[in-house]
Structure 1
Amino acid sequence: MLKLADIAEALGSHLHGDGDITISGAAEPADAGPEDLALAMAPAYADRLGEGDARAAILWEGADWRALGLEAALFVTRPRLALAGLTRMLDPGPVIGTGVHPTAVIDPAAQLGEGVAIGPFAVIGSAVRIGSGARIGAHVSIGANVSIGADALLHPGVRIGRNVTIGDRFIAQSGAAIGGDGLSFVTPEKSGVEAARESMGDQGEIRAQSWTRIHSLGGVVIGDDVEIGANACVDAGTIRPTRIDTGTKIDNLVHIAHNVEIGRHCLMAALVGVAGSTKIGDRCVFGGQVGVVDNIFVGDDVIASGGTKILSNVPAGRVLMGYPAVKMEQHVDMYKALRRLPRILADLRGGKKPVSPASKSD
């Protein structure tokens, strides 16, 4: 239970009304009980406060909290940032018992920092180093020669392969796999793929081919404050490591291929796929299902909307949309033109001739 006054201080918000109200959770306005802090951060949400029993709410600047039937209110200038702080205060995190569970298997050469908690059936390999305060959930496996920083949280079922280095405050959701082998294979003779790439489409002579693995020796290096979503995969590098820099957040079902380098404070939504040896700058944001081809460079501060397919180098600061990726404003013009095509074709079939604005004025 938290006092409303303490929440207000932690969020840096303005408190009006009774600061002694105790809060145990957060809820949407219509679902809020007397111990919930209702999230009515815009007028459209406040209309439903009367359907719930909230005594206090987070409101937008200028709202009349008394007229809304509340006993107290918090006023914030950036609602989603306030939501981040509030949910952090109310989230106890997963329950992982203190110490090492008796069913966990810990290699004698592993080094565990002070206060490390390891759940049931976890397996910790040789020469692993885990920083103080880390929490390792049930059925997590960590390969040999892995280093994980302080205050990490590995949810149940995370898999970390050998030769992975991870910074402080790392979070991995269930099913995340880090350090697996990359898709790196070669044929004894020139493959159809190589021929098609050189000729822009012609495979040349079609013949039977087999694939020989190029082993992944490079491992993965991850900075501080990185988060990896459920069932996301980060492949090990071939010779040099795959790298994810400090502050980057990666959603569920994202695939980062071998030798990729991702900069600081990037954000990647679900189903993003980044092909091998591509370098991505700082603060890039990729929407869901963005695809990036191999061996290109994406500059700092690039934003790509959902479904965008990036096929070539991108300069810093560009906002992209579409397949193939183009500037957002250009894609909007292309989409409008595409929607007009059926009408234009119908006019042409009917014998009408398109007339440009310049022709009308002549």
Structure 2
Amino acid sequence: MAHSIADLAQALGLQAEGALDLSVTHAAEPADAGPDALALAMAPKYADGLAMGRARAAILWPGADWRALGLEAAIFAPRPRMAMARVSQELDPGYDFGADIHPSACIDPGAQIGNGARIGPFAVIGARAVIGAGARIGPHVSVAEDVMIGDDATLHAGVRIAARVRIGARFIGQPGCVIGGDGFSFVTPEPSAAEDVRAKLSGDREIRQQKWQRINSLGAVRIGDDVEVGANSSIDRGTVRDTVIGSGTKLDSLVHIGHNVEIGEDAMLCGQVGIAGSTRIGNRVLLAGKVGVNDNIFIGDDVIAGGGTRIYSNVPAGRAILGDPATKLETQLEIRKALRRLPRMAARIAELQRAISGQKDE
């Protein structure tokens, strides 16, 4: 689909100059852009790429001389990543979910399907499930009994929604994510070796046989509006009360949320984050890749945890943390500087020891 520069600029809320009636069909990196592409060159470092490509129009940094760059039209972006978000939304061709309900979809007679919902081949919708208006459900998706999904939700191929889960409007489930699987909860008739170690904080324990007894998950999962869950991520249902994900929160691929976890609004959890059971996470928390969070702790609003951080205890609101175990960012940077000095310090100590030993021999 073709878009004029004038229409794009208006949709993005940005200033444009030049041949505003010029049309583009897609976005491209500057060096790869052809005459019908909108080149994304939102910083001066991309200017050389424009010379290598054949773009006639581009999104540029403020004040750029678009004529000198050989362009016929330009849109100016003071905040490049926000412009990227908006232009990607405008130019995204999207996915083909079909026009209606595919004949091979299996829909229980007691399910309620909202107006304009599209359901792909081999999807399964369970008893008493409620699918909101305008929802898009891809192939091989399964939605179990008593699930409620809000308007304009998108479930990509292979998504699994388990029984009694509640999901708000405009939810996006990327391929293969699982919402509402049972929590990982087991107990032994007598205190287990793991309980001994945790209580004593020592490996000194009695070794004995143990048989695990399953604790069934009676709760479900409740998800707010405008939540996105990445590919192959998993959110476990609660043991008694529900696991809760607040509105606006975004989960990357391969994220695991344990049973009874509560996450606030507008949080962001990057790839391979793992949250153990019954932890509470505040609003606008950002956990970078491979962050691990212990069970039964609290992370306050606006906390930022750098990649690979391991969080074992409560974190107050607003703190930036890093490391294993997690410490204040400033403290962790000092620790890392000290670690880099250790080889020199060890060599210096060895030198001093040799000097002292030599004095004793005399």
Shorter-chain TM-score tier: over 0.9
Amino acid of the residue matched to residue 166 of structure 2? T
Residue 208 of structure 1: aligned partner: 209
Instruction: Report the equivalent of 1:62.
Output: 63
Alignment of 1:311-350 (within 5 A): 311-350=312-351
Deviation string, structure 1 residues 139-169 (Cα, Å, up to 9, x no partner): 0001111000000000000011001000000
Within 5 Å, give how 1:192-341 maps onto structure 2. 192-202=193-203, 204-341=205-342
Cα root mean square deviation, aligned = 1.0
Map 1:24-39; keep pairs closer than 5 Å. 24-39=25-40
Shift of 1:203: 5.2
Letter in 1 for 2:185: S
Is the 1:193–1:203 contact (alpha carbons within 8 Å) kept by the matching residues of 2? Answer: no
The TM-score, its normalising length taken from structure 1, stands at 0.96
> What amino acid does structure 2 have at the position aligned with 1:282?
N
Q: Match for 2:292: what amino acid?
A: G
Residue deviations 1:190-216, cap 9 Å, x none?
A: 111111111112452110001111001
SS of alignment partner, residue 21 of structure 2: coil
Alpha-carbon shift at residue 46 of structure 1 (Å): 1.4
Distance apart, 1:217 and its partner CA: 1.1
Task: Find the aligned partners of 2:28 and 2:203 in 1 and give their Cα distance.
Answer: 59
In structure 1, C-alpha distance between the alignment counterparts of 2:47 and 2:187, rounded to whole Å? 61
The residue number in structure 2 matching 1:356 is: none
Which residue pairs with 2:88 in the alignment? 87
Identity in percent: 59
CA deviation after TM superposition for structure 1 residue 257, in Å: 0.4
Structure 1, unpaired ranges of 5+: 354-362
What does the per-residue CA deviation read over 1:257-316, in whole Å, with 9 as the maximum and x for residues that have no partner?
000000000011100000000000000011100000000000000000110111100000
Contact preservation (8 Å) 1:38, 1:57:
yes
Question: In the TM superposition, what is the alpha-carbon distance from 1:94 to its structure 2 partner?
Answer: 1.1
> Match of 1:357?
none
**Structure-to-structure mapping, 1:35-46, within 5 angstroms:** 35-46=36-47
| Matched AA of 2:327 | V
* Deviation at residue 352 of structure 1 after TM alignment: 7.2
Give the SS at the match of 1:115. coil
Query: CA separation in 2, counterparts of 1:255 and 1:45?
Result: 38
Name the SS for the 1:48 alignment partner.
helix
Q: Runs of 4+ in structure 1 displaced over 6 angstroms? A: none
1:138 equivalent in structure 2: 139
Query: Quick one: distance in 1 between partners of 2:47 and 2:302?
Result: 35
**TM-score (normalised: structure 2):** 0.96
Displacement after TM superposition at 1:92 (Å): 2.5
Q: Which runs of 5+ in 2 are unaligned?
A: 355-362
2:74 aligns with 73
Supply the distance in 2 between the matched residues of 1:257 and 1:210 (Cα, whole angstroms): 22
Instruction: Note the C-alpha offset of 1:116.
Output: 0.6
Instruction: Tell me the SS of whatever aligns to 2:83.
Output: helix
Q: Which amino acid aligns with 1:113?
A: G
Indicate the residue corresponding to 2:4 in structure 1: 3
Aligned position for 1:15? 16
What's the offset of the Cα at 1:37?
0.7
